[in-house]
Amino acid sequence: MFLVKLVRLNNFKAIYKIFMPLSLVFAALFLAFGLYSALITSPIDYQQKDAVRIMYIHVPAAWMSLIIYSIMAVSNISGFIWKNPFSYILSKSIAPVGAVFTLITLITGAIWGKPIWGTWWVWDARLTSVLILFFLYLGYIILINSFYDKQKGEKIAAIICIIGFINIPIIKFSVEFWNSLHQPASILRKGGIAIDPAMMKPLLLMFAFYIFYFIFYSLIKIKNEININKIERLENNDLYS
């Protein structure tokens, strides 16, 4: 119940005032340290050479694409259960940045794949399921903005989003269930962390940058969406007064 209360519309102003400047400052700091660590201090891979540096953009973007879609699915479920209008606002606001992170994942994956695999793209389970995730994001964005009846559009888009969540575990476990060019988990394995600490550091720094950028962007989009809703209510009141 705490989380439901936290995302009420009347709490957003306080959240925005506190986290907006903080997220911007932390995003800038983590970006500076992350890029320096990724490009200057991190070692090259003995097999991939400097191509491994694409990992510092690709992997955190892939993590964010899954996290954001999961947040959207949970938000839409919350909208159905608790009838909380902020849930739909949150989901609608973060969908575009989720789509961008997924596109970054696809593009950097192709760039990384060319020198390592010898091809830009293969229709294996991991790559195909991430492409499907990108289309799920686009479909959700188009649907929620296509209906004249806003509430109807929110509910239909929410249903598609929730159903599409089945793709998230498919992405996660695809390299284990099917043969794939894509390497299996190379960060966390059963035996613990399987990556050199010198490479783990820039990876986590860039992930932190993505998180704080996501918070910064989301706050702006949510505030804008709230203002749009207020304007629409005022216009409707004027129309029927």
Q: Is residue 2 part of a domain?
A: no
Amino acid at 94: I
Q: Which amino acid, residue 62?
A: A
pLDDT, one tens digit per residue, over 184-212 is 666 655 655 667 888 999 999 999 999 99
Residue 167 token pair: 């793709």
pLDDT digits (tens, 9 = 90+) for 150-189: 889 999 999 999 999 999 999 988 766 666 656 666 665 5
- 13 part of a folded domain: no
Which whole-number Å values give the CA distances from 122 to 86, 103, 125, 173, in the listed order?
40, 16, 9, 17
Q: What is the DSSP letter of 126?
A: H
Whether residue 52 is predicted with pLDDT greater than 50 in this model: the reply is yes
Asked if residue 35 belongs to a domain, the reply is yes
d(CA 94, CA 105): 17
Confirm whether 15 is domain-assigned.
Answer: no
Say what the pLDDT of residue 12 is.
Answer: 81
102 falls within a domain = yes
> Rounded distance, CA 8 to CA 239, Å?
28
Does 113 fall in a domain? yes
User: Which structural domain range is residue 170 located in?
Assistant: 22-240
Mean pLDDT of the chain: 87
pLDDT value of position 4: 44
Whole-Å CA distances, 181 to 128, 178, 188: 12, 10, 19
Tell how strand 188-189 and strand 192-193 pair up. antiparallel
Contact 57, 206 (CB under 8 A): yes
Q: Where are the alpha helices (DSSP H) in the chain?
A: 2-6, 9-36, 55-82, 85-117, 125-144, 150-164, 167-177, 197-240
pTM of the model: 0.89
In a domain, 8, yes or no: no
Number of domains the chain is built from: 1
Given pLDDT bands bounded at 50, 70 and 90, which one contains residue 34? very high
Would you say residue 228 has pLDDT above 60? Answer: yes
- Angle at CA of residue 70, ends 66 and 71, nearest 5°: 120
- Evaluate whether residue 88 is within a structural domain: yes
Q: Cα separation of 214 and 13, whole Å?
A: 18
